[in-house]
Structures are given as C-alpha cells and as structure tokens.
C-alpha cells in the first residue's frame, strides 16, 4: 500500500505492470478526500509521454525505485480518459468509469472510503466531541519535455582559388656564323649546290591542376544543462472551523 509520505518518491518514477513491462512515468498522485490516502496515479504513456492514463494506486507497491501496479500495460493504456479540474480532483462520474474499467466494486469502494479512518493523532469521527479539520497539500515535481532540436548539416560549396606558377616555352632563334677554319670542313661536307630543310620541335609548359581531399576539422553538438528557479502557483483547499458561541447578553436573557 502506498502512503502519503511515499508520494515524492513516486513522482516522475517509472511505472511497470505485473509482467515487468514499463507503462510510463508517474506524473500525479490523487488523494481520496475521505481517507486522505493516495487513490489514483496518472501515468504518462505514448510516444514522448503525450498521453496520460489513470490507475488505482491502493494496491500498488514501490519496488527498487519504480512503481508496480497490479494491472497489465494494455489495461492501463485503455483506461477511460478523464479531464482533471483546476483543483486536481476527479468527478464522481469519472471515478465511477475508472472503477468499472478496472473491475472494482464502486459501491463497496464508496462505502469503504466513507467509513471513519482512525490513524496516528486522529480519532475516528463520531467517537468524541472534536471536529477534524483537513486541508490539501500541493506536491510539485518536474517533467522533461522536448524544447527544440539542433542539428549539424554538411554541404559543399565551390570557391575560386588563384595561384601563380612559372611556365616555360621555347622560341626559335636564327643564328648565322661566318665560315672559318674551324667549321669549314662541316660546311663543305655536302653537295656544292642543293636544296634541303631542317626542322626543330618547339616545347612549352602549361599549368595543370589536381585536387585531393584532406580532413581539416571535427565538429560535434553537445548540450549543457542549465538550472533555473521557477515559481509554481497552484490551488489547494482547506477546511476552516468557526465557533458560534452565544454572548453574555443571550445568557442573561435565558
């Protein structure tokens, strides 16, 4: 049985069914007005916890940091959806539908809830002349949600790069030299009068480019967790007791 003192331990903890399947995370715990004991737990289910289902908590148990309810995952997820009012209460009709879904006897549960509940520091109602004053307490927790996404995207751009490189080429130049004793034999080696031609191949250089890929940088995304203080405002109900006592003038007139 889950007690009120265990509520902070339950909130935002995983909830499992009887077969060890995770149903979701505990979001809210609802207190029975008559017994002042935990009665229902709302469980965030579905993708990213977008849905909320209700399950009885009276027979649940806290096991090694998670809550185990005596129902299957499908039973909890198929429970009737209810709209909790601003005061954090289930209406009688909504609670009745939930009892029917989980096969709990509504009349027996209602009678049991409205019986006097003795406890430490609290006498059963009707056994003395005192009146018990009760009030609600608000338990505040946190839930994690998706606030946005950041991504790395790699794309290719083309830039124009200029470099200056020397290139060489050959040019033809006609050289004439007079006949001397040193070159006379070579000059008279051929026929006296003839026709002929001599060809020289000219060479030149031109720039060529070649590219190769080299890694230059590693980029990654990291997240830093920041803690901020936020003030949470809620509404809780409390009972007040006023005494209607006759004054002295009324006593004298009697």
State yes or no: pLDDT of 83 exceeds 70: yes
Give the H/E segment covering residue 111.
helix 106-113
* Angstrom distances, CA of residue 3 to CA of 65, 69, 129, 166, 235: 15, 14, 28, 89, 22
Confidence at 86, pLDDT banded by 50, 70, 90: very low
CATH classification code of 1-113? 3.90.50.10
Q: pTM of the prediction?
A: 0.43
Q: What are the residue ranges of helices labelled H in the chain?
A: 7-10, 73-77, 92-101, 106-113, 184-187, 248-253
Domain-wise residue ranges, the chain: 1-113
The pair of structure tokens assigned to 214 is 């080299």
Compute CA 33 distance to the chain's CA centroid, rounded to the nearest angstrom. Answer: 34
CA nearest to 95, candidates 51, 42, 139: 42
Q: pLDDT tens, 101-126?
A: 988 876 666 666 555 544 443 434 44
């Amino acid at each position: 049985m889950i007690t009120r003192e265990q509520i902070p331990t339950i909130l935002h903890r995983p909830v499992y069914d009887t077969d060890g399947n995770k149903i979701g995370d505990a979001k809210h715990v609802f207190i029975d007005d008559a017994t002042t004991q935990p009665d229902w737990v709302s469980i965030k289910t579905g993708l990213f916890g977008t849905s909320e289902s209700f399950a009885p908590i009276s027979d649940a148990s806290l096991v090694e940091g998670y809550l185990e309810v005596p129902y299957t995952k499908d039973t909890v997820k198929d429970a009737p959806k209810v709209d909790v009012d601003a005061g954090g209460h289930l209406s009688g009709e909504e609670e009745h539908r939930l009892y029917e879904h989980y096969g709990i006897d509504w009349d027996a549960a209602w009678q049991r809830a409205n019986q006097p509940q003795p406890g430490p520091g609290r006498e059963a109602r009707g056994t003395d002349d005192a009146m018990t004053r009760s009030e609600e307490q608000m338990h505040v927790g946190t839930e994690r949600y998706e606030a946005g996404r950041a991504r790395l995207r790699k794309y290719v751009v083309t830039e124009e790069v200029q470099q200056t490189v020397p290139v060489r080429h050959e040019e033809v130049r006609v050289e004439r030299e007079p006949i001397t004793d040193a070159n006379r034999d070579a000059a008279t080696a051929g026929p006296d009068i003839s026709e002929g031609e001599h060809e020289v191949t000219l060479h030149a250089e031109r720039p060529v480019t070649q590219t190769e890929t080299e890694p230059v940088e590693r980029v990654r995304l990291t997240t830093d967790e920041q803690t901020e203080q936020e003030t949470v405002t809620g509404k809780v109900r409390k009972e007040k007791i006023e005494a209607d006592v006759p004054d002295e003038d009324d006593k004298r007139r009697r």
